[in-house]
Every structure is written in structure tokens, then in C-alpha cells.
A and B are shown apart, each in its own frame.
Chain A
Amino acid sequence: MIRRLTRGVAPAILLFLLVLLSLYLLGVATEKSEGFAPSGEIENLFLWMLVINTLGLLVLVTLIGANLHSLIRSFRRNEPGSRLNLRMVVVFIVLAVLPVTIVYGFSLQFLHRGIDSWFKIRVEKALEDALVLSQTALDLRKREWLRGVQEMASELAGVDEEDAAMALGDIRARSGASELTLVKKGRIIAFSSNEAVVVPRRPSEEVLLQLQQGHPYIGLEPDPGGGLQVRVAVTVPAGGTQSETWLLQALFPLDKRISDLAGSVQSHFTQYKALAYQREPLKKNFSLTLTMVLLLSLLTAVWAALFTTRRLVAPIRDLAEGTRAVAAGNYDKRLPAVGSDELAFLVRSFNDMTRRIGQASAEARRSQQHAEEQRAYLEAVLANLSSGVITIDRLHRLRTVNAAASHILGVDLQQYVGQPLGEAAAANNRLRQLTTAVAPMMDREVHQWEKEVVLTTERGRRILICRGTSLQAEDGGQGDQIMVFDEVTALVQAQRDAAWGEVARRLAHEIKNPLTPIQLSAERLRRKYLKSMPPDDAELLDRSTHTIVQQVEALKEMVNAFSDYARAPRMQLEPVDLNALIREVLDLYSGIDLTLRLADDLPQVEADPGRLRQVLHNLVKNALEAMETERRKRLEIGSRRVKEQGQEQIEVTVRDYGPGFENDQADHFFEPYMTTKPKGTGLGLAVVKKIVEEHGGAVWVEDAEPGARIHLRFPAASNKRINDHE
């Protein structure tokens, strides 16, 4: 409310009018103060107006002070618009102060000269001369009257006190005096007046004093009626009966005409003297009024300058503030647009602009958010994809990888993002193999390609199916390349296992059936013809049939083995302590140089102990068969717990010191009838693999130089339970 009161135009105009009114009254009061007679209520108007105007000055000074203070404060704080504000204020003030001050100086000078010029020396002199002339003219009359009174006194010289009153009356009638008084020792002894009722008065002290000194008294004095009279007093010459000194006092009224003229001269002279005497205070009064007017006008002008500037600069300041806000990213800033001038137009345009920028930026933000969501979605999809995805930019830098890619390649690829693929490949064996295999495809810049890549890892060969797509860049050239790859090792293995299973079943079925008739036929041949044949032939028959029966027996065994391999009996799972199982199995073998490295803290395995036993038997048997030709049969069996991808696992290794294997055989090591040994069914390791995989484990072989090391891995029972819970 107060802010509105001090900011609006109406109060400013009101203040201005008040100042004008006050100045006008001050002027009137100064004019009135020239007069001399106090004239009722106006008499102190000047002083009142001085007081009121001084208060007005104080109010203005306070207003201006507050304004300047806030102006300077905002300037120091470097608020927007403050510099412009200050500059305009200074310009306005200088524009107002300079001319007014000059006018003030000239006015003051003119004023002083003007007042001085009223009181010309010539006028004063003329008036003084007129006064002296009047006095001189009166002096003549006074001397005549003195002579007359002295004559009256001589007449009274011989008169008795009793007759004095009578004589006095006669004398007064003759002389033209208005009043005669005869005094003896301060007591009035006779009195005569031309007026009926009048109280006789003794001569005054100064009259008596002069007479005592022996001089007659004669003096002009104003009479009570407003005119002038002459008082003459003399001593009555001594003589006759008079023992005491008598005094005679006479009053002569001046002619009305002379009295009026002399009075006029006197009053004008007095007035003029008084005016001249008051010249200085009058000048001071006018100067004071002028100064007051100057100060009030100046301060009003200064205040008006401050006021106007503030109003002028306010929209500019708002604009500056608004621009700052927009620069800082605040597009909600709206400025108050008042009026219809160009500044208001500018402000409205600014508001329009910020609104549009705000809309555009909100739109951009929405789009960005949308894109971000899309990206997050894509990332989530990628992360949950079982296929590995890698994108490579045109400079062969790794750009995107997903979790599956890292998992398949067995390395955290995320750390290489942004680095050239070559550097990442140098640090990782699998990646190197992969990039070496696909590099020709990428370099050939074919749009789409597909390739099967075989990686050699410590856990055997891994088969990846890679598909690549090269994206079109915005400029039409080659852009990023996307490579999607899946590990199909298990798939290929499964296909292979299935094929072998089929083979086994077929073998069992197709081969086993004719074996029994073969065996029976051979035995019948032998039984029927052995005894009736000559000994040489009999021996041949015996040997041949024996061989047939034996080989059929062997074939049967083999077919049974295949049949077992193909059949999948139901597993009886229970917690198994692998260390105990290993020791139990190894007890059955003797003549081996055995080294056991079993970990103490081995967790249990959820497994079918019978089948695990078979696994161990097969492995030991396999190792012994591999070392058949060795003199010293060295075997190392170890167990330990390992952690792979957060899963607790148990690893069992079996190492022999046999001849080992060729590198390219590692892939087919666990396939049926893959053997490097002179003896053996060739199904031992295939069964091992089958059983281990049935337990959710893994098996692989590595070249140990000399010999080979077979690794078995089983998930720990605890893992399984946790997984089940999940």
C-alpha cells in the first residue's frame, strides 16, 4: 500500500501541487510582510509558511535521501538498470540544478538592487529637509509665543495671588493660548483653559528642571488630540507681594493647517525612516523566500528526477533481470507490462519470447526424456538378451556392449567401451580371436554377414555364431557396425550327443539281435562236427568257433555298453561328500603312484553317488589305460572349491602322466570311440561327460605336458538350494 502510494503518479502530482501552493502562500506572506501595521491573521503567515516550507524541505530531503540511498545501494550491488538509473538521475539533476541556480543568482542580485533603489539618498534627504523646514518654521512661531508669554509673566509680576486667576483669564483670552497655569512651589495657584472641563496639570519635571536653571522652557509636543502644541514655561519676574517664585506655563495649539502639514511631514518621515531601517531584514526575508523557493523547486525537481527515472528505468531493469533469468534457464519469468508505449511493447514481446522459448525447451526436454527412456529400454532389452551384442563405430572403437557379450567372452567388456577394439583385443585372448575372425567381414564393408567362429579357450573350444550389420551413417557412408553373437557350443554338443545316442541305440538294436543266432550257430557247428572231424580239422573248427563265440561275446559287451550309454536311468540324488567318494574309489586301485590334493572345506554335492563313482572309475581307468606303457603310473587327483560368476562350484581334477593328446583332439575328447589308446571301449569318457552334464556340471580336458588333466566341475549343493528357493 505504502509502496503504491509512493510509486504512483497521483501522489507525485499532489506533492508538486502542495509545493506550488506552499510557495505561492510564502510569496503572498512575504509581500504582506512588507506592511508595517500588524494586520490580523496574516501577520504571522510568513513565519508559518517558513516553518511549513522548512518541514516540506525536510520531507523532500528525507524522500530524496531514501531514494538516493536505495539507488546507490543498488548501484553497488550492480543490480540491473542501476547504472542507467544513476546516469539519468545525474543528467536530470544537472539539467534542473544549473538553470535554476543561475536564475537564483540573478534574482538575488536584482532583488537586492531593487530594494536598495527604493531608498534613494535623495528622497531621504528631501524628507529630512522637509522635517527641518517644518522645525524651522515652527521655531519662528515658538519664539513669538515665548516673547508673548514673557510679556504675560511681566504683567503678572505685580498681581496678588488672589487676583491671579482673574488676571490669568484675561491674559489667556488676549494671547490665544489654549491653557495657562500659574504655579507656586509646585502648587497650581491659578489655571485658565479654553476648554470647559480639564484637569490642570503641573509642569513636568523636565520643565521645572530647565526653569530652575534659569532658562525659559519652550517645546513642541504632540497634543492629546492628535495635533501639535507648543508648551512654554517661564518664571514670573519677582516683585510686589510675591515672596515666592511663580512659574507661568502656557500651551499654544498650532494652527490646524500647520499642525496637519507638520504632522504629515513627521509621519511620512517616520514611515520612510522605518522602511529604510527595515530594508536589511526585508532583503533577508526576500532572499530567504527566494532560497526557500529555490530549494523547494530544486528538491522537487531532484525528487521528480528520481521518481521519473525510476519509472522509466523500471521496465528496462525488469527486462535486464528477465534476460538474466532466461540466460540462467528460467523461462517462466514474466515481466509486468504496464502502459502502451514502446517499452511496454518491448516487455510484451519479451514475455512472448520467453513463453515460446519455455515451450520449446519443455518440448526438447520431453523429447530428451523420451529418447532417454527409449535408450534405457533398449539397454534393458540388450542387457537381458542372451545374445552378445557389440557395436563398433567407424573408427573401430567399442561403443556398446551388453552383459551377455561380456559373459560369452568371459571378460568385462564394459571397461573397454570407448577404446579402440584393437587395444581391447590385445588385453583379452577371446576377444582377439573373435576380432581376428570377423575383421575381414568388417573390413569388406558388406552390409550383412554371418560367420561361425571357433574360440579356443582354457575350457575347450567355444563355437560362436556371429552376425554383423553395418549401419548407414548420416552422411551416407559406413556407420557403426553391430555384431550379434551367440554361443552355440552347447547346442552343437547336444546335437552331437543326440546323434551319438541315436547311433548307440541303433547299434544296440540292429547289432545285438543277429549276435545271438550267430553265437548259437557257431556253438551248434562246434558241438555237431567237432567230435566227427579229423583232429586237424577239429582243431581249426574249435579255434574258429571259439573265436566267433568270443568275438560275439565281445560284441555283445560292446553293444550293452552302447545301450547303457544311450539309456538314461533315473538319478538318485543325495548330498555327496566328493572327497570321501574319491578316497573310496581309489581304495580299489593298487600299484599307482597316487597324489591326492583334496581341499578340506569342500561343500557337498547334490548327486547320484553310484554314477559319480562310475565317473571316477572311468577317469582312473582312462588314466591307467593312457599310462599302460609307462613304467611308473603317476596319478594326481585334486579337489577344490571355486567361484564362477557368483556360483560356488567344486572342481575335481585328474591328471595323468601319459602321452597326452594332440591339440585338435581336445574337441572330440569326450565323444564315443575317440581314443588315443591302444585298448578301451572308447565310451569311458563319453559316459563321464554324459554323467557330469546330467549333474549340471562341466568337463573339459587340458594338455598338461606331459599327460593330460581332466577338469570336472559340479555346482555345490548350497547353490542349488539357493536357486531352488529363488
Chain B
Amino acid sequence: MRYHHRHPLLIVAALLWLWLGLGVGSARAESHFLIESARTELDDGVYRLHGRLLFHLTAEVEEALHNGVPITLLLEIEVDRKRRWAWNDTVATLRQSWRLSYHPLSGRYLVDNLNTRVRESFGALSAALRSLEQLEGLPVIDAKLLAADERYYIRVRTRLAIEALPPPMRLWTYLSSNWRLESPWYTWVLQ
């Protein structure tokens, strides 16, 4: 399990983005990334995630993809313990990432699961994205790690990893709404 720390630059970039007064949330309104449904099931002592995600890339992202820039998509999962008088305590953070790239020689789209190192290729971009949209039985956390008398929340979201883009592009993609693709958090009680 890999723990993810929120990048401080994101905050700075968000401030810069606000400061530059770029169009607010037009991408958000269209919801290019969305979690349609998600649930957990306890299976053999392990909570497993099932769900359906939606990925739609903007024209700018597709253009970059066709120009040989690999795109990394993330699924972020957080298990939080609710506390009465303090911030929620994040018990576990899990990150599932896929790298999407274009293979010009064969004209195919490659999807590399960065967690499992499994590569798949697809003749169409939509097929490649669709291959990511169905989540089935993704192990999240061992039930033994959770206290029985506590109440836990689980929340998930998907986003495009700007920090994984080539460095020259990062600053400008942080500032562009066409690149800041992320779904709202999808939260439910873990049981």
C-alpha cells in the first residue's frame, strides 16, 4: 500500500490559478471524470472495492496523447476514521494508477497498470478508457486493521495526474482547466 501525500505545489498552483482568474470550473461542470457508483464488500476478511467510473478526456488531453505525451490516470482511495473533536484521521490511502499512451507504429493505445505492471493495448481510445471504467474486487484494506467499534468512511475519486506529465508542461497544465480533470469525492460508510 502506498501512502500518498498531497502535493503542496497543488495548493500554490490552485492559488495561482485563482489569481490568474482562469475560467472557474467549466471542466468541473461537464464532469469529465466521474464516479458513477462505488461500494465495498467484505470478502474473506478484506474489503474489496466494486464500482463504475467514467473517463472522458478533453480535446487538449487527447491531442497531447496523440503527440506522444503519456497520460497518467489515478484512482485515489482514502479510508478515514471519524473523530468527534478533531479532523478525520486518515487510516489508509491507496492509489491505483494507469498510464495511457499512444503507439504510433501500430496506431494502438496502450494502458499500463502501474501497480501491476500489466500492459494492454486497444485499437481505440474509447476502448482503452472503457477497460478502466469497471472496478471489480479491488482490495482496499484488511478488516483486521480497523477497530470494530469505530466508524470508518471510505472515499474515492479519479483524477488526471498532472505531476506525472513532462516537467515543461506542468506549470501550464496546473493553470489550465482543460487539464485539471478530477471527479468529486465519492464517499460512503465502510461496512
**Which residues from A are CB-within-8-Å of B7?**
44
Question: Is A589 engaged at the interface, CB distance under 8 Å to the other chain?
Answer: no
Cα distance, A270 to B7, chains bound together (Å) = 29
**CB within 8 Å of A: which B159-174 residues:** 163-164, 166-172
Binary B-proximity of A26-41 (CB < 8 A = 1, otherwise 0): 0000001111101000
Interface segment, one of A216-224, A334-342, A446-454, A464-472 = A216-224
**Which residues from B are CB-within-8-Å of A219?**
106, 108, 123
**Which residues from A are CB-within-8-Å of B9?**
44, 47-48, 51
A206: nearest chain-B partner, CB-CB? B123
Question: Is A576 engaged at the interface, CB distance under 8 Å to the other chain?
Answer: no
> Which of B119, B121, B164, B170 contacts A47 (CB under 8 A)?
B170
Question: Is B69 engaged at the interface, CB distance under 8 Å to the other chain?
Answer: yes
Residues of B within 8 A of A (CB): 7, 9, 12-13, 63-64, 67-69, 102-106, 108, 110, 119, 121-124, 127, 163-164, 166-172
Contact, CB under 8 Å: B169 / A281: yes
Number of interface residues of A (CB under 8 A): 43
Contact, CB under 8 Å: B69 / A274: yes
Cα distance, A221 to B121, chains bound together (Å) = 7
Contact, CB under 8 Å: A38 / B121: no
In this complex, which of A46, A263, A272, A278 has the most chain B Cβ atoms within 10 angstroms of its Cβ?
A: A278
Question: Is A43 engaged at the interface, CB distance under 8 Å to the other chain?
Answer: yes
For this complex, 10 residue pairs linking A to B, each with C-beta atoms less than 8 Å apart, are: A33-B167, A46-B171, A47-B9, A47-B171, A50-B171, A206-B123, A220-B106, A222-B106, A271-B68, A285-B168
**Which residues from A are CB-within-8-Å of B169?**
278, 281
Q: How far does the Cβ of B102 sit from chain A's closest Cβ, in whole Å?
A: 8
Cα distance, A219 to B106, chains bound together (Å) = 7
Cα distance, A282 to B122, chains bound together (Å) = 31
Instruction: Knowing A131-B104, A265-B105, A277-B69, say if A222 contacts B121 (CB, 8 Å).
Output: yes
Question: Is A720 engaged at the interface, CB distance under 8 Å to the other chain?
Answer: no
**Which residues from A are CB-within-8-Å of B119?**
222, 224
Contact, CB under 8 Å: A33 / B104: no
Contact, CB under 8 Å: A266 / B104: yes
A35: nearest chain-B partner, CB-CB? B167
Cα distance, A599 to B69, chains bound together (Å) = 135
Contact, CB under 8 Å: B172 / A284: yes
Instruction: Knowing A38-B164, A274-B166, A277-B69, say if A205 contacts B104 (CB, 8 Å).
Output: no
Instruction: Knowing A35-B167, A224-B119, A282-B168, say if A277 contacts B104 (CB, 8 Å).
Output: no
Q: How far does the Cβ of A637 sit from chain B's closest Cβ, in whole Å?
A: 118
Q: How far does the Cβ of A325 sit from chain B's closest Cβ, in whole Å?
A: 50
A224: nearest chain-B partner, CB-CB? B119
**Which residues from A are CB-within-8-Å of B68?**
269-274, 277
**Which residues from B are CB-within-8-Å of A265?**
105
**Which residues from A are CB-within-8-Å of B171?**
46-47, 50, 281, 284-285, 288
B127: nearest chain-A partner, CB-CB? A206
**Which residues from A are CB-within-8-Å of B64?**
277
Q: How far does the Cβ of A594 sit from chain B's closest Cβ, in whole Å?
A: 123
